[in-house]
Amino acid sequence: MQNTVKQSVHFTGVGLHSGAPVRMTIQPASADYGIWFRRTDILIGDAMIPARWDAVEQTALCTRIVNAAGVSLSTIEHIMAALAGTGVHNALIEIDGPEVPILDGSAAEFVRAILEAGLVAQHAKVRALQILKPITVRRGEAQATLTPADGLQIDFHINFEDEAIGVQDKSLAMSNGTFVRELCDSRTFCRKADVDAMHANGLALGGSLENAVVVDGEEVLSPGGLRHDDEAVRHKMLDALGDLYLAGAPILGRYTGIRAGHALTNELLCALFATPGAFRVVECDAVTAARLPGVGVHLAEMPAVA
């Protein structure tokens, strides 16, 4: 069955790039509604933006979507990951600014609030995209691939010069609450030199040591250090789940990311939908639905740090 939130879920915080305060509310929605955002600060014209792969505007630092009227919303990847990872298929997300609040830099606060509010099962079957043949996109040394699999599997490889990150690999089947237990509390990360450069150019003004893992060589500058030894690759997997949910339905397939980012994952979805015979839409029976990321998730599975 499809799910929506049982009641409205509220968040307040600041935008990562602007540093401006923002309020956001997840509202229940009817079956087959999908995920939509509404900019409540836009009073004239179309304020509705679909959470969909073909609404993505390419950016290097986050995932931004834009509607036909040019109204955009940035940094949606963490809330999209939270919705995918808790099994929310239908929701209207109202927000009074151009960026989703960064909160602690992970998806944990979104996940906790959704699970505390609870979900409502709807009388409509979940439809998923079943990958039928391999699709790969590349940019330099970066690569993203989708291949057939019974459920959603995410494999990721990263390689950074900073010793605090270095080379990290991780592979997880995303069924049975794996996202909530293993990934949702992993924060975005960056190098101190990059933070300084962004601040100098008026970017990431809402970023701080409290909402990102900041590294400088072998040193982790954020208070309390890492939540996981491999927090960086876990966060990349979190981002990938959120970006893949822009397909408009859960994916049954294996995603492999090698130094991949937001833009490359979206390019992969574009290639998927442009390739005849690469996928089919299936109605999930009980066995297939049980393999989806949000099925059987409980609040008690939240990491203690979150």
Pick the CATH number of 127-301 from 3.40.50.920, 3.40.50.2300, 3.30.1700.10, 3.90.1720.10: 3.30.1700.10
pLDDT attached to residue 173: 96
The pLDDT of 203-216, averaged and rounded, is 72
pLDDT attached to residue 200: 67
Residue 121, Cβ density class (10 Å: 0-12 exposed, 13-18 middle, ≥19 buried):
exposed
The pLDDT of 111-140, averaged and rounded, is 96
- Which pair of structure tokens corresponds to residue 174? 């995303």
Q: pLDDT by residue (tens digit) across 66-108?
A: 999 999 999 999 999 999 999 999 999 999 999 999 999 999 9
- Whole-number percent of the chain with pLDDT over 70: 94
The answer to whether the CB of 152 falls within 8 A of the CB of 131 is: no
Q: How many beta carbons lie within 10 A of that of residue 99, not counting itself?
A: 24
pLDDT at 55 over 90: yes
pLDDT attached to residue 247: 98
- How far apart (Å, rounded) are the C-alpha atoms in residues 283 and 223? 46
DSSP string, 75-111: --HHHHHHHHHHT--BEEEEESSSB-B-TTSSSHHHH
| 123 catalytic per annotation | no
Q: How many beta carbons lie within 10 A of that of residue 229, not counting itself?
A: 10
The pLDDT of 156-169, averaged and rounded, is 93
The pLDDT of 48-72, averaged and rounded, is 93
In the chain, list all ranges with CATH 3.30.1700.10: 127-301
pLDDT at 174 over 80: yes
pLDDT at 214 over 70: yes
Catalytic residue among 17, 78, 235, 262: 262
Q: What is the mean pLDDT of the chain?
A: 92
- How far apart (Å, rounded) are the C-alpha atoms in residues 216 and 218? 6
User: Looking at 13-22, 46-55, 77-86, 134-143, which range is the least confident one?
Assistant: 13-22
Amino acid at site 240: A
The pLDDT of 187-206, averaged and rounded, is 72
pLDDT attached to residue 136: 98
DSSP conformation class of 130? E
CATH of domain 2-122: 3.30.230.20
In the chain, list all ranges with CATH 3.30.230.20: 2-122
Q: How confident is the model at residue 237 (pLDDT cuts 50, 70, 90)?
A: very high
Whole-model pTM? 0.94
Give the DSSP H/E element, type plus range, for residue 143. strand 142-147
Of residues 20 and 97, more confidently modeled: 97
Residue 294: closest CA among 115, 146, 38, 159? 115
